[in-house]
Amino acid sequence: MTDQVPLLELRDISKSFGRVHSLRGVNFDIRAGEVLGLLGDNGAGKSTLIKILAGVHQPTGGELRWNGEPISLPSPRDAMAQGISVVYQDLGIIPLLSIYRNFFLGREESVAMKLPGMLILRKAQMREIARRSLAQLGIHLDDVDLTVAKLSGGERQSIAIARAVHFQSKLLILDEPTAALSLKETAKVLSYVREAKRQRVSVVLITHNIQHAFDVCDRFAVIFHGRVAEVAEKGDVSVQDLANLINTGTRHQTKMAV
């Protein structure tokens, strides 16, 4: 298992915005079919890291390797084509569009008739696929013409996850999927994560909530001030260790003098 080439390797990734260094040489890897918890305090650099993996930002230094091959992700479309899907906390979905339109947004080629200079959507097919894919995750929304604005936070997350699974993403990145959700909905979203893993999708789960991460993750990577504080197997750390790593960058409870 550990001998296998990782799905995605981050080698010495850094990113600066002018004189602000958000990431300073980040190294870790994501294995095929695992759930990796990416933890860190606000401002630690998690969001910047996600945006690099999503093709929104370009790293200022370092290298990404996909199945051992160096890759670059110049745009979100390139990341999608590679098999990376990102479900953003608040940017994952267009509230005014219907469920099935959101489901296929940015990936309409597969359900469109190609004319020169124009893609005509096969709407009946789109509705059918969206309905079926949602049902596979255990989400039953019969009326996929509903606008997403009418759905609860958990349902919105579930659409984004169902989309990633349907388009056979190899890597699903979830940014704070359980923030602002009720307890029941949180349980459902975490069950979707397990379901995605069962379908052999690697998942990176970004969260503040260590308990949620501990429930579903196989490994953890903790980011502290733009660097990786530690990468640990679930069996090697406790919830308290992770809390300390997030707060101080070490397993000790008190901050070391800097």
Partner 1 sequence: MAETKAGTTALNEAIASKRPPKTRFEKLMSRPESGVILAAVLVYVFFAVAAPNFFSDRVASNILLSSATLGIIAVGVATLMIAGQFDLSVGSVYGLSSGVVILCINAGVPGWLALPIVMVFGLAVGTINGYLVTKLQIHSLIITLGGLMFYRGVLLAVTQGFPIRLKDVDPFLKVLDFSWMGIPGPFFWFLALVLIFAFILGSTRFGGWLYATGGSPEAARCMGVAASRVQITAFAITSLLACIAGYVSVARFSSVDSLRGQGMELEVVLAVVIGGASLNGGYGSIIGAALGVLIIGMIQQGLILIGISVYWYQAGIGILLILAAIVNQRVRARHIS
- What residue ranges bind partner 1 (CB under 8 A)? 54, 56, 75-77, 80, 86, 88, 90-97, 101, 105-108, 112, 118-121, 123, 138-143, 145-147, 149-150, 152, 155, 184, 188, 191
In the complex, least distance from residue 65 CB atom to partner 1, rounded to whole angstroms: 23
Distance between CA atoms of residues 53 and 133, nearest Å: 25
Query: Closest Cα to residue 31, out of 6, 54, 56, 10?
Result: 6
Closer to partner 1 by Cβ: residue 148 or 246: 148
Strand-pair category, 171-175 with 20-30: unpaired
Closer to partner 1 by Cβ: residue 34 or 78: 78
Q: In angstroms, what CA-CA distances link 256 with 131, 230, 251?
A: 53, 16, 11
Query: Closest Cα to residue 40, out of 253, 183, 249, 246?
Result: 246
Closer to partner 1 by Cβ: residue 132 or 184: 184
Measured distance between the N- and C-terminal CA atoms of the chain, rounded to whole angstroms: 39
Q: Are the CB atoms for 85 and 173 separated by under 8 Å? A: yes
Q: Are the CB atoms for 11 and 52 separated by under 8 Å? A: no
In the complex, least distance from residue 251 CB atom to partner 1, rounded to whole angstroms: 34
In the complex, least distance from residue 140 CB atom to partner 1, rounded to whole angstroms: 5
Closer to partner 1 by Cβ: residue 58 or 75: 75
In the complex, least distance from residue 73 CB atom to partner 1, rounded to whole angstroms: 12
In the complex, least distance from residue 200 CB atom to partner 1, rounded to whole angstroms: 18
Closer to partner 1 by Cβ: residue 75 or 240: 75
